[in-house]
Amino acid sequence: MPDDAPATLLARAREAAPRALGGALTGLQGVVLSYLVVLVPALAGVAGAPNLDGSATVDWGGAADVATQVWLLGHGVPVAVAGGSIALVPLGLPLVSAAILLAVARRFAAKTWASWAFACGAYAVGAAAIAAGADADALLALRAGLAGALIAAPSVALGIWRTHGARLRLLDRLPLDVRTGLRLGGATAGAILGLAALAGAAWAYLGREDVASLASGLGMDPLGAGALALAELLYVPTLVAWMAAWVVGPGFAVGEGTLVSPAVVEIGDLPHVPLLGALPSAGGGWLVWVPAVAAVAALVVRVLLHRRIVPLQGHGLDLSAARVAGTGLGVVALALAGVTVASSGAMGPGRLATVGGDALLVTAAGVGLAAAGWAIVWLTVAAWRGLRGRAAGAADDARDDARAEARDAPAGAAARDGVTGAQGDATAAREPAGASSTATPS
């Protein structure tokens, strides 16, 4: 090793230190700000509610404990309750945390892998530290750290990309067919989730009276009602994930022995939670055709991305098309499986220990519907190209025949002229002989 190697390494470390520090600040601010999102409403709710023992004191510590449990629940740590646990993740909290990290990364993170790694590591360590401080065991603390890393990694990367224009060169090394399939699969999965959000909004509007009845039955004061409304907002993305299972057909469960699907709705007694009043309340009839709408959405996505799809060879049904479709279906499968798993878990003890969709059924149904929608476009394009190719071939044959006739016409005319000239010469040769024979008798 050269003598100046330690000095070089030290200089590089000093140069990278500010960037790494910016990444670490990004992760720490993400932890603090996302925790405040649940802590402030909890403190506001307990400030306006009477104490359980009837005293005028405010249980600030209890409010902080509730906020900590909710924050950790959003990072995969279940909350223990009498007779069971609550493990259903409020997917809105990871989304809020991701949005905060994205915004902070645009201000503090640098365009280096070190900055990105320190941001992800700081957020993961902060999540694990909060779990450990809440008396969670080592396994649950590790789970919180891993969940934090999964939340921070794409969020910080997107923030750096939005600010500095960084580009993941690994994607450039992928074949064009694979990149096209990634785009097609991501857009189709987004379309299915968009349909799920629209369906959830429609059922929430139809069940607005049930939601209002459940909310008024709780008899809460304004601050408590506001805190409950915020908590339910954090569960709205979870409800959208349930509706994705509903849109593709298999549906979801809200307790053991229940099923909510386009074909059938079987729901027993549910907790008095206003958000549950927005669940679908009917099944069968024309609703059984709802999964067909998902296939139509996949068809529309394929049509809209037609100009970005790799120009296919032949009639469009070749290895290139297979790679695009295979990659796209893989993205759809991963998206639906991940969303379904993330939105499943226990919502309480007893029959509420089984909530959410079946990941295998939902994934299989979604992939099948996406494949059906894409196949219609691919087959239509293949048929059109085949017809156009045959028409072009017939036109080429006609042009070749016309050219051949044009080439043969002068030769035929010359041949006819030659025959006519020969006949004229023969006639001319016979005329003198006839004339002489006529003149002899005179």
Nearest Cα neighbor of 157 from 78, 218, 211, 101 is 101
pLDDT of residue 442: 34
User: Who has greater pLDDT, 425 or 206?
Assistant: 206
Average of per-residue pLDDT across 89-109? 94
pLDDT of residue 276: 87
> Measured in whole angstroms, how far is the alpha carbon of residue 24 from the centre of its chain?
29
pLDDT of residue 353: 86
Average of per-residue pLDDT across 295-315? 76
CA-angle at 161, arms to 91 and 185, nearest 5°: 55
pLDDT of residue 433: 45
DSSP for 302-363, please give it.
Answer: HHHTGGGS---STTS-SHHHHHHHHHHHHHHHHHHHHHHHHT-S-BSSGGGG-EEE-HHHHH
Q: Which of the four pLDDT bands, split at 50, 70 and 90, describes residue 167?
A: low
Q: 260: part of which helix (H) or strand (E)?
A: strand 259-260
pLDDT in tens, 355-383: 999 999 999 999 999 999 999 988 887 77
Asked if residue 34 has pLDDT above 80, the reply is: yes
pLDDT of residue 383: 76
pLDDT in tens, 313-328: 444 556 777 888 899 9
364 in Cβ contact with 303 (< 8 Å): no
Average of per-residue pLDDT across 156-176? 79
For residue 397, the tally of other CB atoms under 10 A from its CB is 10
410 in Cβ contact with 228 (< 8 Å): no
pLDDT of residue 398: 62
User: Who has greater pLDDT, 86 or 164?
Assistant: 86
The model's pTM: 0.80
Q: Phi then psi for 260, rounded to 5 degrees? A: -125, 110
Q: Which of 23-37, 188-202, 415-429 has the lowest mean pLDDT?
A: 415-429
Using CA atoms, how far apart are residues 152 and 144, in angstroms rounded to an integer? 12
Name the one residue in this structure whose structure tokens are 């949005």.
Answer: 99
pLDDT of residue 52: 46
291 in Cβ contact with 248 (< 8 Å): yes
Using CA atoms, how far apart are residues 13 and 19, in angstroms rounded to an integer? 10
Average of per-residue pLDDT across 153-177? 81
pLDDT in tens, 236-274: 999 999 999 999 999 999 988 899 999 999 987 777 888
Q: Which of the four pLDDT bands, split at 50, 70 and 90, describes residue 162?
A: confident
Nearest Cα neighbor of 331 from 306, 367, 305, 300 is 367
120 in Cβ contact with 91 (< 8 Å): no
Using CA atoms, how far apart are residues 279 and 266, in angstroms rounded to an integer? 11
Work out the percent of the chain whose per-residue pLDDT is above 70.
Answer: 76
113 in Cβ contact with 129 (< 8 Å): no
Nearest Cα neighbor of 246 from 278, 212, 213 is 278
pLDDT in tens, 339-355: 999 999 988 888 888 89
DSSP for 110-164, please give it.
Answer: -SSHHHHHHHHHHHHHHHHHHHHHTT--HHHHHHHHHHHHHHHHHHHHHHHHHHH
pLDDT of residue 315: 47
Which range, 198-207, 211-220, 309-318, 342-351, is most confident?
198-207
Q: Which of the four pLDDT bands, split at 50, 70 and 90, describes residue 306?
A: confident
Residue 410: partners with Cβ closer than 8 Å, 6 or more residues away: none
